Chains A and B, each alone.
Chain A
Amino acid sequence: MIEFLELSKSYGSFRALAPLNLTVPRGEMFGFLGPNGAGKTTTIRMMMGILVPSAGQVRIDGLDCHRESSEVKRHVGYLPDSPIFYDYLRGREILQFIGEMHNLTRTEAVLRTGRLMAELGLEEVAEEFAVNYSMGMKKKLGLACALIHEPSVLILDEPTNGLDPRASRDVQQRLRRSAEQGMTIFLSTHILDMAERLCSRIGIIHHGELVATGSPQELKDNVTAGGTLEEVFLAVTEESDQA
């Protein structure tokens, strides 16, 4: 379970995230939508302990993401929007390294590395230096890094950016399987179709404020009386601008 308790973040006088209160129950796939610069990545980075909250806290499985960040990471897998990898290390080696850093035995790390690379279609490039990967390959390798320790919570920032349609479909299928197995998934995306297909609940953030939450159907019924999710998105972000 993920709990946001009055979580906020400011950069000096700029408020990146207004106090956020939200609960994502265990096993839910939650879509976090918003225009560019709305505060999605800031929120996700606070969940990973990369950014420090200005106030409030975010808890994952009851653990404070800032104060108990090492413990939190045992339960969490994370994929950033633009993953960057080490020079001079091959894709396979990076994935194996992350597995061992999660305290997997070498044999287990090797086993899971092979399995994930095959599953995500990275077998062919496993022995290439990851720095030379295309954006799509880097995304897939990042996803493999997020999955290697079989976390109970997955935090994904724009997981299908840079992927070709087939790869994007494969990733979405993988996420759906993970959710069916009980994994909690917190997903930030611009792709409304994907959010509607995958997520049981959606939150829309704008100028650092959560302006709408609910299931895709609830949002469509309540905001636009049966319109599309795109219309919901445009309506709530425009309302917020006017307010």
Chain B
Amino acid sequence: MMQAAAPTGVSAARAVWLLTCLRLKRVANQMTVIYNRPLSGRKGRPATSGKKRNRWVVSGVVAFFMLFAYGNIARQSIVNLHRALDHVPYARSIASGPLSDALVRGLAMQLSLLLVAAILGTLASRELSQPDWDLEWLATLPLRTPMLLLCRIMERSIANPLGLLTLLPAGTLIAWISGYRWSAPLLGAIATLPLLVVAAIARTLIDTGLRMSLAASRLRNLQAVLSIVSVVLLYLVISLGMTSPMAFVLGWAREFPNWGSWLPPGLVVRALNAPQLSAQIGIGLLLIVEVGIGLWGSLALIAHQLRNGVVAASSRETARHSVAMSKGHGTQSTRRMGTVVQRRELKLLLRDRTFLVQTLVLPVVIVASQVIFQGRLYGSSFAGASNAAVASIAFGIASYTLMMSAFQTLNSEGGALWLLFTVPRSVESVLKEKAQLWAVLALGYPIAVFAIAAVIKSQADLELIGLAAVVLLGVPIYTLIAVSLGVFGCDPLAQEVNTRLRPTYVYLFMMLAGLYTYAIFASEWWQRVVLIVLSGLLALALWQKARDELPYLLDPAASPPARVSTSDGVIAAMIFFVIQGIAAVFLRDEDHHLSAGALIVAYSIAGGLTFGLFRLSLWRTKTTGVPAVFGARFGRAAAWGAGTGLIAAAAGLVYIFTMRHLGLMQDAMPDSARGLSAGAWIAVLAIVAAPVFEEFIFRGLIFGGLRRSLGAAPAIAASAAVFAIVHPPVSMIPVFGLGVCAAFAYDRTKLLLAPMIAHGLYNAVVLGYQAAL
């Protein structure tokens, strides 16, 4: 019988090409999934507009800033090395041309550190501990093992974003200072390539060896350790680019051995800086030979590791051997603690070493590295640090903990999220319980930091106690923000684990957490109160939006119906203040003074535009729950408005009377307010315009939105607090009372007419009383 001839084997070049294309296609497809933009233009099952989110701009900006940041660090590192090694302490830049031997060695050390950081960073990724090892699949292809490994190294050399991010800016800048100027980016990229090959060789050699020899549990432990070491090393490299780099790192650069500059990173520097073409070619050839020998040797070593076949030591880990341990630790210790969801979460935390280290250890390492390597406390001890510095360290650690834990509450459910859709509990209640757990764990760090500070300083002064309160209030607020942003940032339908979380939201969380440090460094108490209240409102608004999304998580097409939410109120208030500010700029007189008439015009323009824009937007999006001014029970609303308005006004009069008698009124009143105290214009503003516009925003949208998620009492208190903090400090207390009365009237009548009347009446009585004095 005739047999069909077997097909001839694929050539080495073609195999490399195919596997590299496959990897790049995977990266491109991942981007497509993330951004909902098919590169090929073909359409699958189309989603409605509600699920489409355009994140190209945000991610483009983030990528640009990351490249810029790495470039800037590389530039400052080179300048610092130049200052220290060429003994020019005040140099701000480097003249292009041949570099000194000392600087060449210093740059070789910098590139070597970056290379090690890139290798460790890629090894610390979750890929190492994932049960599926793609080499097992690749081994089924009709390729000889050395060829297969060569393909893998080439593919990893090209598709290494972390390596590119760390090495490319430094390579480009070294080419720039070597005199290549605008051809530096191209030469930098060419010079980076051999280093990426070295990184790929090291990564493949190490991860193959580890996979072949270590059980899955040990791999996870090792990965947890690597994630810490890589962060410390990265901060060490970054510290070289700070304005005051650590002396010991510069010392390493001075002592960097000459032979070190004959290794691949040093040869890259030498090749770029060689004065003649022949020397460049010679050094380039040496570099190629070194990388080639390394490649050949490592291929032989990996082939030896795989001599008995590609079977990971970690495959099908039964976990039976650790049953006794788990019964002792995981089960019993968590048996009586918290709810069933919290117990499960703790169990997962105790078993997943990577998660444990990233959640509980890495935040401390990151903040400690920042403090030490960026020199914030350099030269002084913890005891000498200011209370604000202690508070910012405490909040920093808590924020990183929340980023690693609370931010992941939805993402950590992974592919098993469907199980939560089979139990008679809402996903919201599960996330809330997880959030409570993470808030408690995250609070542990600030408490510990403040306790240590109090012990070291041998006293707990009032300022430290106040700052501790600010931080301890901030942690639950930012837990809610983290959980909410985690919901927006997670795509449970993503097929690839590493595309399930959108990094943009991680940066957004860190940015918002950074804003809260203003509450720590603020000079006035009321500024802190304002920031705490605004952060709390933001947390509630985000959580409400996230809650609305939860029932639609696993539906690729449907989105929640539009309803009035707290975030509408927050946005409306922001638009109102921005328009008012812009209008006021245009309405100022030549001396930059704003008359009472101009103020009311600016206020009315802002109020009218905000009111109109929002009404139009709510109508166009068919939003439900839009606040109504009039309705069938018109008379009842007017009566409630008048009653609550009189109560608020009476309280306001008592407050003013008390403040005047204590002599605090004039001191506390800002100059601008005193200047505006007269005139009929202000009466029109206060009695007619303010009630209409402010009640729409603060009662209609903010209170209405809060009421959807909260009971009457907390919603009234929260909306009144927000209303109070947008007023001058002197009037915060009576305005809070007005906010309570107006919200109560609105809650009872469901018509904005009631709080509008209450607001107008309050302003009329208070202004009338002040005018009469």
* Physical interaction between A and B: yes
Q: Which of B326, B351, B424, B425 has the most CB of A within 10 A?
A: B424
Inside 8 A of B326's CB, which chain A residues have their CB?
90
CB-defined contacts of B344 to chain A, threshold 8 Å: 86, 89, 93, 97
Segment at the A interface, from B101-109, B231-239, B317-325: B317-325
Contact A129-B317, Cβ < 8 Å, known A11-B45, A146-B422? yes
Specify which of B47, B320, B351, B557 is in contact with A88 (CB 8 Å cutoff). B351
Q: B319, A90: Cβ atoms under 8 Å?
A: yes
Task: Find A128's partner among B320, B419, B556 (CB 8 Å cutoff).
Answer: B320
Task: List B contacts of A78 (CB < 8 A).
Answer: 421-422
Name which residue of chain B comes closest to A100, CB basis.
B340
* B421 pairs with A132, CB closer than 8 A: no
Query: B347 in the interface, Cβ–Cβ < 8 Å?
Result: yes
Q: CA separation between A167 and B421, bound complex, in Å?
A: 26
Give complex CA distance A214, B311 in Å. 52
**Residue contact A84 to B415, C-beta cutoff 8 Å:** yes
**B555 located at the interface, meaning its Cβ lies under 8 Å from any Cβ of chain A in the complex:** yes
Whether B424 pairs with A132 at a CB distance below 8 angstroms is no
Q: Are B554 and A45 in contact (CB under 8 A)?
A: yes
Interface string of A55-98 (1 = CB under 8 A from B): 00000000000100111011011101001111111100110011
Asked if B46 and A13 sit within 8 Å, CB to CB, the answer is yes
A89's contact among B348, B424, B554, by CB below 8 Å, is which? B348
List B contacts of A177 (CB < 8 A). none
Q: Which residues of B contact A131 (CB under 8 A)?
A: 131
Indicate if B375 sits at the interface (CB-CB under 8 A): no
Interface centre among A45, A85, A90, A101 (most CB of B within 10 A): A101
Q: Does B552 contact A (CB under 8 A)?
A: yes
A residues 88-125 with Cβ under 8 Å of B?
88-90, 93-94, 97-98, 100-103
Contact B421 A86 (CB under 8 A): no
A165 touches B (CB below 8 Å): no
Chain B contacts for A45, CB-based, 8 A: 554
List, in ascending order, chain A residues with CB within 8 A of B340's CB. 97, 100-101
Closest residue on chain B to residue A104 by CB atoms: B340
- Check A50 for interface membership: any CB of B closer than 8 A: yes
- Across-interface contacts of A76 in B (CB, < 8 A): 422
Q: Please, which residue of chain B has its CB at the minimum distance from the CB of A146?
A: B422
Interface status of A228 (Cβ within 8 A of chain B): no
Taking a contact as CB atoms closer than 8 A, the residue among B416, B422, B425, B554 that contacts A84 in the complex is B416
Q: Does B418 contact A (CB under 8 A)?
A: yes
Q: Are A93 and B424 in contact (CB under 8 A)?
A: no
Interface string of B338-366 (1 = CB under 8 A from A): 00110010011001100000000000000
Minimum CB–CB distance for B710 against chain A, Å: 20
B87 at the interface (CB under 8 A from A): no
Q: Given A84-B416, A127-B320, check contact A11 B557 (CB 8 Å).
A: yes
Cβ of B423 under 8 Å from chain A: yes
User: Complex: how many Å from CA A69 to CA B426?
Assistant: 8
A156 to chain B, nearest CB (A): 12
Flag if B352 contacts A88 (CB, 8 Å): yes
Say whether A12 contacts B46, CB under 8 Å: yes
- Which of A50, A84, A103 touches B424 (beta carbons < 8 Å)? A103
Which residues 543-563 of B have a CB within 8 angstroms of A?
Answer: 551-552, 554-558
Contacts of B351 in A (CB 8 A): 88
The CA-CA distance from A93 to B340 in the complex, in Å, is 11
**B347→A89 contact, CB < 8 A:** yes
Contacting A at CB under 8 A, from B378-432, are 413-416, 418-419, 421-426
A128 touches B319 (CB 8 A): yes
C-alpha gap A76/B416 in the complex (Å) = 18
B556 CB contact (under 8 Å) in A11, A54, A73, A77: A11
Neighbouring B residues of A48 by C-beta, 8 Å: 421-422
Given contacts A10-B557, A89-B348, contact A101 B423 (CB under 8 A): yes
Cα separation A146 to B17 with both chains bound (whole Å): 48
Within 8 A of A (CB), among B269-321: 316-320
A51 sits at the interface (CB 8 A): yes
Per the CB 8 Å criterion, the residue count for chain B at the interface is 38
Question: Does B48 sit within 8 A of A, measured CB to CB?
Answer: yes
Partner of B423, one of A80, A98, A129: A98
Rounded to whole angstroms, the CA-CA distance of A29 and B48 in the bound complex is 35
- A12: chain B residues within 8 A (beta carbon): 45-48, 557
- The residue that B554 contacts in the complex, of A50, A98, A127, A146, with Cβ under 8 A, is A50
- Minimum CB–CB distance from B492 to chain A (whole Å) comes to 10
Q: Are A84 and B319 in contact (CB under 8 A)?
A: no
B320: nearest chain-A partner, CB-CB: A127
Q: How large is the interface on A (under 10, 10 to 19, 20 to 34, 35 or more residues)?
A: 35 or more
Contact with A along B42-54 (1 / 0, CB 8 A): 0001111000000
- Is residue A2 contacting chain B, with contact meaning CB distance below 8 A? no
A97 vs B335: C-alpha distance in the bound complex, in angstroms? Answer: 12
Residues of B within 8 Å of A11, CB to CB, are 45-48, 556-557
Measured between beta carbons, the chain A residues less than 8 angstroms from B551 are 49, 52, 66, 69
Answer whether residue A145 sits at the interface, using C-beta atoms and an 8 A cutoff. Answer: yes
CB distance from B676 to the nearest CB of A (A): 52
Q: Which residues of A contact B318 (CB under 8 A)?
A: 128, 132
How far is A88 from B129 in the complex, measured between Cα atoms in Å?
13
Tell me if B319 and A71 are in contact (CB < 8 A): no
Q: Are A86 and B423 in contact (CB under 8 A)?
A: no
Q: How far is the CA of A73 from the CA of B418 in the complex (A)?
A: 13
Chain B, Cβ-Cβ closest to A134? B316
Which A-chain residue is minimally distant from B349 (CB atoms)? A88
A108 to chain B, nearest CB (A): 13
Cβ–Cβ < 8 Å partners of B424 in chain A:
70-71, 73-74, 101-103
Please measure, in the bound complex, the distance between the C-alpha atom of A93 and the C-alpha atom of B424, giving whole angstroms.
Answer: 19
Contacts of A90 in B (CB 8 A): 319, 326
For window 127-154 of chain A, which residues contact chain B by CB distance below 8 Å?
127-129, 131-132, 145-146
| Cβ–Cβ contact B323 & A14, under 8 A | no
Assembled-state Cα–Cα distance A11/B45 (Å) = 6
A16 to B45, CA, bound (A): 9
In the complex, what distance in Å separates the CA atom of A155 from the CA atom of B426? 19
CA distance A145 to B420 in the complex (A): 11
Are B319's CB and A127's CB within 8 A? yes
CB distance from A59 to the nearest CB of B (A): 16
How far does the Cβ of B550 sit from chain A's closest Cβ, in whole Å? Answer: 11
Cα-based distance from A69 to B352 in the complex (angstroms): 32
Q: Which among A50, A78, A89, A131 has the greatest number of chain B C-beta atoms within 10 A? A: A50
Which residues of chain A are near B419, meaning CB under 8 Å?
A: 85, 94, 98, 145
Question: A132 is contacted by which of B316, B423, B555 (Cβ under 8 Å)?
Answer: B316
Q: CA separation between A88 and B354, bound complex, in Å?
A: 12
Chain B residues in 8 Å Cβ range of A71: 424
The residues of B that contact A85 with a CB separation of less than 8 Å are 416, 419
Taking a contact as CB atoms under 8 Å apart, the answer to whether A101 and B418 are in contact is: no
Verify A129–B426 contact, CB threshold 8 A. Answer: no
Is the Cβ of A132 less than 8 Å from the Cβ of B131? yes
User: Are B347 and A50 in contact, with the CB atoms below 8 A?
Assistant: no
Pick from B48, B341, B418, B552: contact of A83, CB under 8 Å: B418
Instruction: Please report the C-alpha to C-alpha distance between residue A86 and residue B352 in the assembled complex, in whole angstroms.
Output: 11
B425: A residues at CB distance < 8 A: 70, 101
Q: Is the CB of B131 within 8 A of A51?
A: no
CB distance from B553 to the nearest CB of A (A): 9
Expressed in whole angstroms, the Cα–Cα distance for A236 and B422 within the complex equals: 33
Cα distance A75–B53 when bound, in Å?
Answer: 36
Closest 10 CB pairs of A and B: A12-B46, A84-B415, A52-B558, A101-B423, A88-B351, A100-B340, A11-B45, A73-B424, A74-B424, A11-B557
Subset of 12 A-B contacts with CB under 8 Å: A12-B47, A12-B48, A51-B555, A70-B425, A71-B424, A86-B416, A93-B344, A93-B347, A98-B419, A127-B323, A128-B318, A146-B422
Other contacts beyond A86-B348, A86-B414: 8, CB < 8 A: A14-B46, A16-B45, A51-B554, A86-B413, A88-B352, A97-B340, A97-B344, A132-B319
